[in-house]
Each structure stands twice: as C-alpha cells, then as structure tokens.
Structure 1
Amino acid sequence: MLNRIATMQAVTQAIRSCSGDEELALLVVRGRRTREVELSLGHAIADALGAAMESKLVANLRDQDVVLPIGEHAFVVLLPGVRGRQHAALAAAKLVRALGQPLMLEGWQLHPSVTVGAALYPSDAADAADLCLHADQACHEARGEPDGFAFWRRPVHADSFTHDELRDALARNQLELYLQPVQSLGSGRVSGYEALARWNHPRVGPVPPLAFVGEAERTGLIGELTRWSLTVALRHLAGLRRPGHDLRVNVNLSVVALQMPGFALQVMDLLRVWQVPPSALALEVTESALMRDVVRAQGVLAELRDAGVRISIDDFGTGYSSMAYLQRLPTDELKIDRSFVIDIASNERARHLVGSMVDLGHHLGLEVVAEGVEDEATLSLLRDLGCDRAQGYVIGRPQPAGELVAPPAP
C-alpha cells in the first residue's frame, strides 16, 4: 500500500511537471519467472535478483528518469520529456536488453528476463491512475511479444465501427489472413498453420477478431466472413503443400456459421475448388461456444468429419464440457488454452494439470495441441509430457499468408 501511494504521488508530480509538446512515458517492468528463482534458490537470492534489477535499471537510464519499486521484481519507470512513442520504445528496448543479461549471484548463474509495458501522458491517459493502469495492461500484453515489450493500445469494440464498414471490408477484400505455424513435437517440423483474420480499419486502426466476429454474428455477416476465411486459407494452403509434406490448416469457426443451412456442403465445395484433401482442413470451435448447442452442432460436425474434415476443440479447459460430451462429440483434436500452458516451466501444479489434459486427450483417441508456447523450456516440457503439437511465438508469430514460404519437405 505504501509503495502504491508513493508511486501515485510520484506519477502525479511528474504529470504536473510536463510542459510543451513533450510527453511523459511510464514503463511497468516485471521480472519473468522470478517466483521459480525464489522457490528453487531461496529468498536471499531472489532478493539479490530484485536489487540487481533495480541497479541495472538505474544504470541504463538518464539522470532525470525515476525508478519506483512496486513489488517483488516489479518497477515503475518514469521517463519525462520523451518525444513520442519511438523515443520511449528505444528506452524500453535498452532496458529489456540490459535486464536480460546473465547474472552471477552467490555462485549461481541466472538468466533473467523481463516484460515491459508502456503508456504515454497525455496521449494514452489523462491522470496518474489511468497511466499506471494502461502501462500495466501493456506489460501483461508484452508477455506474448517476442521482444518482451508492448505499448498500451486503446481497446476497439464493436461500436467503434459500423455494420456497413464491416460489410464493405468484406466486399472489397480489406481483411487480411495471417497464418501462425504449428509444430509437430515429434519431428520438430512445421506440420500446419492456424488461420487468423485481421482487419486494419482505416479509421480506428487494428480491430480485434473478437470484435468484428461478434458483430458479424449479430448482423448476419458471419456467413460471408466464414466463406472468406475458408477460401483464403485453403487457397494459401494449396500453394504451400508439397509432395511428402502433408501440411494442414486450422480455421476458426463460429457456432453461428456451423448452424447455417448447407454449411457442410459449402466446405466440401471449397475443398474441391482448391484441390485440398479434407484431412488437410481442421475446423476449430471453442469449447464454451460448442456447449451452448451441443446437440445441433454434433450433427453438422459429424457430417463434416465423416467427409474427412478434422474437428478441433479450441481453448480446451476454459469452458465446461463434460467427459460424456467429449466422448460423444466427433472430435479429432484438443487445443489446450494458453492460460494453462504459460506457467508450466515454473509451476508444478500447472505442469501436472497440462499433463492430465494430454493424457485425457490421448485416452479419448485425440491429438493434443498446446497454445501460447513462448519459450524453449515450455516447449521441451510439453514434449516430455507427450503433447503432440504446439504453437506460440517461440515457434513462429502469425505472418501475412502471402509472405509465407513453404517449409522444406522432410
């Protein structure tokens, strides 16, 4: 509480000192897996690590910059007088590099890493509380970035754009498909991709898929959006496949689209157009959405699976499916949500839980895929747990589909 009060007072004073066209950058810096250090090496070394982090921060900042401890291995850094995001990004990148250097503490060599979130006053917040909150939110987002750094981004909701704008974006092919590689943990090779729709709105900027997919469901555009996703994904997959290397693509599917008349026939027609075998396509449905109308979904999924299309349950573990439903549903694949995967290198309970999910999937005859894999240690543990495939930034970030080069054949 004392740290919080002191931090707010310091941030408020820094805001009052801003003048002219200069901005105040607030960075939240958090150590990664420091709890693992504390549990394995003890409190003394963990405390020494925190002190070393603070010393490195001070050593790599200007005299006018301020470092405020806000918790164990967590700091607020105030950078007054910055000129825009580029200036703040350069400072943040310098800190990420400096704090990522190996450390020798009491005979132990440590390999620390940090995440850094940034927000600017006045462009990102009007007061100290919001500035701190937004930088902390950005720090959370930075966990998924390969460079460990993120700026706060203003949320975009469905009411930020109109139905007509979404319809026009579909009609004018303004959406873009990204493909994220999925690796086989047995061979270490890329075995396929997940297709991800992106919309860079000319007025409001990047629109999260959840926002425009939800709007498409509400306004009857989901059929067009689904056709677009399937068409573009299959077209690119057809260009990436090579003899002896059976790549496949996962396409996210709205349950609303699944319930449209003739949906299964539409999928099969597109497979024929692009000459892609049904087994090379997996349709992903989130666990929670699937459970809302499991009886109706079961029939359509069974029709698709009988035709050879693979069915995947996405975000497994976040919904409320029962063993009975898992046994009855025509399913080929379980995708373990990243919230379970992200801490398995430092959390034994999380590791056991993921291991149980892998075993459950295998007992049901399903392939198991782990999402959100961010480092080699997690990847190695998943391999040891018997997980079949994995995706995440350590394997590859989503890329525009048109920029992908076919992986080498085995």
Structure 2
Amino acid sequence: MLNRAAVLADVAARVRQASPDAPLGVLVLRAQRVRDIELTLGYAAGEALGHAMQDALEAAVRPGDRVIRIGAHDFLVLLPALRGRSHAALGAAKFVRALQQPLDFDGQRAQPIVVAGIAMAPEDGEDPELLCRRADRACDDAMHGVERYAFWTAPPIPLDTLHDDLRAAIADNRLSVHLQPVAVLPDRVIHGYEALSRWTHPRLGRIPPDVFIGVAERGGTIGELTRWNVNVALRHLATLRASGKPVRISINLSAVALQVPGFVDQVLDLLRLWNVPGDALVFEITESALMRDVERCSHLLAQLRAGGVRIAIDDFGTGYSSLAYLRQLPVDAIKIDRSFIRDMVGDLRARRIVGTMIELAHDLDLVVVAEGIEDEATLALLQDAGCDAVQGYLIGRPALADDVVQRAQAR
C-alpha cells in the first residue's frame, strides 16, 4: 500500500488533467462485514480476500485507470477522461459486481458486501484530499442504496441566509478573482484573460458562481458584486499592462447588473481610475440574457461601447437570438459555447455548425472566440475553420489572479 502523500500526489496529477468535458472519477470501494468472514474462516481467509479483491478490481478497470489499495479491504480507483457521471456510475456498478463474486476458502464460500462512493473532479472539487474524503463519505450513502454505489452530494445551501453573507464578503473583500487565458490563433499568443469570481464560504465551502450570482440578482447586490469584480479585474489588468503586456480582460456581465442605475458611468470611472483604455475591457453577456430586454440592453451596451469597451455575446448558439438581431446588436465578438466545440472531432455535423458560425460572424465583422478547448485535434479543426481565438484547459486553467500576474511579470 502507498503512503498517504504518494496517494494524494497520484490523485493530484490526474486532477490536473481533468476537465468539465472529460472529468476524473475518484472512487472509494469499501468492503463490509469482513470481520464476520475472518471470525468464521480465519484471519488468513481475510488476508486472502483482500488480495483476491485487488486482483478482481485490476482485471475490471480500463487501461489507464488506476487502482490503489488504501486499506486491507478498501480501494481507491481513479477513472480519468470519463464522459460524465453516468460513465462513472457504470464503472462503479461494474466494480461492485466484480468484488462481490463469492470466493472459495477450503470448501467454504465467502462473499463480501462492497459499496462504492464517487466524487467527480472538477465538479466536486480539485483538492486531492477533499475529493477522497467526499468519495469516502459517499460510501456511507451507498450502504443504504439498492445499487450499492452513490455520488457525493453537496449539503443544501441555505439561500435565505446566503444573501447577507455575500454582502459581507463583498464588503470585506473576501471573494477572489481567477484568470483564465485566451490565446489568438494561429500562434497561440496569450492576448487576454477572462476574470472569474470565486467565493469560498467560511462554513459552506466553495459556493458555485451560478448560485451566488443568482443570490445577488434576487437580493439586490448584483451591482455591488459586479463593481467589485470589475474593480479587482481592472487593477490586475493595469498591473499587467504596466509591465508591458498589452492584454485585455473579459468579465461576465449579468443583464440585471447592466441595468442597475449608474452602472455605465461607474465602469467608465473605474477605467479612468486604473488608467486602462476602454478597448482593453470586454464585457461578456449571454444571448439568452440579452434577448430578455433587447432594446434596453442594447442601449446600455451602446453607451459602454461609446466609451471604448468591447462587447461579446457569451455561450453563442445556446440562446434564441435571430440573425437579424445579431446584425443590429452593438457587439464586437461572439464566444461559441463549449457544447458545440466538444463534439467537433467525432461529429461532422458539429464541425459544419461551428464552421457556419465562424463564417457568419466574420461576414458581420465580428471576432470569434471558441471556449472549452481541451485537445490538439479540436484546436486544429478550429484553426482550419478560421477561428480567431480560443480558451480552455488546453490553453490554461483558471488560476488566482495574483499568481497569474506574478508569473506574467516574471516572463
């Protein structure tokens, strides 16, 4: 058995290769009632059972999967490049069946009861020890289920109290900004970053962005949250540009935040405060949010654009904007949603759809950014199709803004 540090290092190495489209499954398999077998058949039978279980498990995994024995009858299995949670569930069910096959010990049969707990990276976290603990905790739920496996589920978030906590976190500067690089094609030079807000609650842990942004929109703090994000992002951008890096920064913009009174003037004031030109800031707004009040949003976006700020339609292709509206909207770029990108390599229709999007955008003098790039084959297809820029784990993962700025300055 490997020691704890070696196990976590192994998990960490595979977490670094995981992505939302190719997640890592972290499975803990735990044998139950082993003591009954040992008391009935002897301790040697218990030891032999552990070895037999490891052999059965190693025979059941795919090439590239990793089996680690973490106890006499407990195992950690790492399943990289899964297709999703259902893929992990199929693997867990297969392993449980393999380990529950009856074994013969001197004419007496022993059949262990096995449960499996599953955590998914990066969905359930990216810290190796946390993922292992969450998979281990899911084993407790699996003991009460018919299928004998269970996924880790986050405890319910108390939304009624979260609003006050979020307001306090904004006021006390207890949120963080991560930056993910955006590269231009064909040379892959980093020409910008997307700024992503993150919040780790002192009791509840990491709160998903869609949850706390929704809380901010419903509770009236979306203006404060967006101002905080813009201010911090521009501070980092000013530092990067002062060190000779002529990059841009992109920020996700809620349609609710856009319509907060005085928002446009606040953005222009922050640009002047940090001495950043308007065209170095890009606001990304989803087409579905934009279309809810297209006239009002278009008017406000036009005001931002008049100050030099660039506008991009995020998650393009997933909403319901018409081509006529796309021609009329005050936008500079579109970001093609990852749901179209991830199937390009194996799906001719997906390639044609993406190619048509790129051609359409170029006909309207729009820049095209593709998100969710995870492999070289997809990148090559996008480059052949004339895509202007790309973003995804292949280019770089989101990282703390302070660390990104420090590394960029060192180069």
Q: Same fold (TM over 0.5)?
A: yes
Instruction: Specify the SS of the correspondent of 1:162.
Output: helix
CA-based RMSD of the aligned residues comes to 3.9
Partner of 1:260: 260
> What amino acid is the match of 1:75?
G
Partner of 1:128: 145
Instruction: Specify the SS of the correspondent of 1:128.
Output: coil
State whether residues 160 and 204 of structure 1, in contact with CA within 8 Å, keep that contact through their aligned partners in structure 2.
no
Distance (Å, rounded) in 2 between the aligned partners of 1:88 and 1:309: 38
| Structure 1 residues 195-234: aligned runs within 5 Å | 195-234=195-234
Instruction: Specify the SS of the correspondent of 2:343.
Output: coil
Identity of aligned residues (%): 50
Instruction: Specify the SS of the correspondent of 2:321.
Output: coil
State whether residues 156 and 204 of structure 1, in contact with CA within 8 Å, keep that contact through their aligned partners in structure 2.
no
Partner of 1:31: none
Per-residue CA deviation, residues 308-358 of structure 1 (Å, 9 max, x unaligned), is: 100011011111010111011000010111111112112211111111111
Deviation, 1:263, is 1.4
- Change in 2 beyond 3 A, CA 1:258/1:377: same
State whether residues 190 and 407 of structure 1, in contact with CA within 8 Å, keep that contact through their aligned partners in structure 2.
no
Distance (Å, rounded) in 2 between the aligned partners of 1:130 and 1:167: 42
Partner of 2:282: 282
Deviation, 1:409, is 11
Partner of 1:379: 379
Instruction: Specify the SS of the correspondent of 1:249.
Output: strand
Instruction: Specify the SS of the correspondent of 1:75.
Output: helix
- Change in 2 beyond 3 A, CA 1:245/1:168: closer
| Structure 1 residues 130-279: aligned runs within 5 Å | 132=149, 134=151, 152=152, 154=154, 157=157, 159=159, 161-241=161-241, 245-279=245-279
* Structure 1 portions without partners, runs of 5+: 1-10, 21-50, 90-115, 135-151
Poorly superposed stretches of 4+, deviation over 3 Å: 13-20, 51-67, 70-74, 77-82, 84-89, 118-133, 155-158, 242-245, 405-410
Partner of 1:7: none
Specify which of 77, 80, 91 is matched with residue 75 of structure 1.
Answer: 91
**TM-score calculated relative to the size of structure 2:** 0.69
Distance (Å, rounded) in 2 between the aligned partners of 1:256 and 1:88: 32
Deviation, 1:246, is 2.1
Instruction: Specify the SS of the correspondent of 1:374.
Output: coil
Distance (Å, rounded) in 1 between the aligned partners of 2:267 and 2:200: 27
Distance (Å, rounded) in 2 between the aligned partners of 1:221 and 1:407: 33
Distance (Å, rounded) in 2 between the aligned partners of 1:194 and 1:59: 34
Distance (Å, rounded) in 1 between the aligned partners of 2:215 and 2:247: 32
Instruction: Specify the SS of the correspondent of 2:91.
Output: strand
Deviation, 1:295, is 0.6
**TM-score calculated relative to the size of structure 1:** 0.69
Partner of 1:393: 393
Distance (Å, rounded) in 2 between the aligned partners of 1:239 and 1:81: 58
| Structure 1 residues 339-354: aligned runs within 5 Å | 339-354=339-354
Partner of 1:403: 403
Partner of 1:119: 135
Partner of 2:313: 313
Per-residue CA deviation, residues 65-87 of structure 1 (Å, 9 max, x unaligned), is: 699xx9899633348999x9999
Distance (Å, rounded) in 1 between the aligned partners of 2:259 and 2:242: 34
Aligned residues: 322
- Change in 2 beyond 3 A, CA 1:153/1:193: farther
Partner of 1:355: 355
Distance (Å, rounded) in 1 between the aligned partners of 2:367 and 2:148: 44
> What amino acid is the match of 1:233?
A
Per-residue CA deviation, residues 103-124 of structure 1 (Å, 9 max, x unaligned), is: xxxxxxxxxxxxx9x8334456
Per-residue CA deviation, residues 356-392 of structure 1 (Å, 9 max, x unaligned), is: 1111111111101111111111111111111111111
Distance (Å, rounded) in 1 between the aligned partners of 2:87 and 2:239: 51
